[in-house]
Amino acid sequence: MSPLLELQDITVSFDGFKALNSLNFSIAAGEIRMVIGPNGAGKSTMCDTIIGKVRPQHGKVLFEGREIQKLSEHKIVGLGIGRKFQAPGVLEALTVKENLQIAVRRNKQWYSSLFGRSATHEADDIEQVLNQVGLLEKMDSNASQLSHGEKQWLEIAMVLVQKPKLLLLDEPTAGMTAQETAQTATLLQSLAGEHSVLVIDHDMSFVELLAAPVTVLHMGTLFKQGSLQEIRDDSSVQEIYLGRAKQEGEHARA
Ligand SMILES: Nc1ncnc2c1ncn2[C@@H]1O[C@H](COP(=O)(O)OP(=O)(O)OP(=O)(O)O)[C@@H](O)[C@H]1O
Ligand SMILES: [Mg+2]
């Protein structure tokens, strides 16, 4: 079966520095994939490239077999790729429901709001995703009243309500409590099958709970891929993380 998304030999340079360097990567329909790697490995740049925020100097991004690396971010979202950013994007002054209404309408053309699914359908869709992320009872609360974890789930709901085939989640558990982190793992597992999920995270307890296949990026390229167990036991993976820790220690001493 051909993959849902494929990156072929992607290179992204910022002023001559290769944030991505001949990166090859693919994810199947319905699959959850964990992407890890030391700070600066190129994880966020990989998401930026998939969604069309960053243009590769070289290589192709194929989504359902179609080249998308030259399309606008708006078109790419319309094809079925949704992204939650590393920085939070909830509108605090609005209610949970209002945030979702904006998210539903954000990527619609004028004609689809005229002839598309009715307002009742929209309300149903909103309720369904709120139920999925466990925020149904907070529908009419102001987003400012949500806990940090709940805000992250609201953001996931804002992506889900657009019914993406592929979700890109950049560090969804950052700042979460252990319990919220565990709930997030359960939530993402419940999305598999219907959606593909590419999730970037540093938190090893989350990686373990998710128990998904792992891709390791290092210096803008694919370093290793395998089951969590294989990645954890791999001495070269341990080295790239330890090497980083050592460097940081040396800086701290300098
Ligand atoms: N817009 C930009 N201009 C210049 N350099 C950039 C830009 N975006 C990213 N970089 C550089 O590219 C490299 C990869 O950055 P990226 O943010 O993709 O890493 P990351 O793996 O997401 O790291 P982290 O774990 O810290 O989030 C870094 O060295 C970063 O400084
Ligand atoms: Mg990042």
Please state the domain extents for the chain: 5-90+165-253
Ligand 1 contacts CB of residue 120 (under 6 A): no
The DSSP secondary-structure symbol of 142 reads: B
- Give the pLDDT confidence score for residue 249 in this predicted structure: 59
Look at ligand 1, atom 30, and give the residue with the nearest C-alpha: 40
Which residues place a Cβ less than 5 A from the ion ligand 2?
43-44
Ligand 1 contacts CB of residue 49 (under 6 A): no
Atom of ligand 1 nearest to the CA of 15: 4
CATH architecture of the domain formed by 5-90+165-253:
3-Layer(aba) Sandwich (3.40)
Task: Find, among 142, 160, 165, the residue nearest to 68 by Cα.
Answer: 165
Per-residue pLDDT of the chain (254 residues), as tens digits, is: 689 999 999 999 999 999 999 999 999 999 999 999 999 999 999 999 999 999 999 999 999 999 999 999 999 999 999 998 666 689 999 999 999 998 887 766 554 555 556 677 888 899 999 999 999 999 999 999 999 999 999 999 999 998 999 999 999 998 899 999 999 999 999 999 999 999 999 888 899 999 999 999 999 999 999 999 999 999 999 899 866 655 665 665 54
Q: What CA–CA distance (Å, rounded) separates 242 from 29?
A: 34
Ligand 1 contacts CB of residue 40 (under 6 A): yes
CB 49 within 8 A of CB 11: no
140: CA distance to ligand 2 center in Å? 32
- Give the pLDDT confidence score for residue 89 in this predicted structure: 81
- Give the pLDDT confidence score for residue 117 in this predicted structure: 60
Ligand 1 contacts CB of residue 16 (under 6 A): no
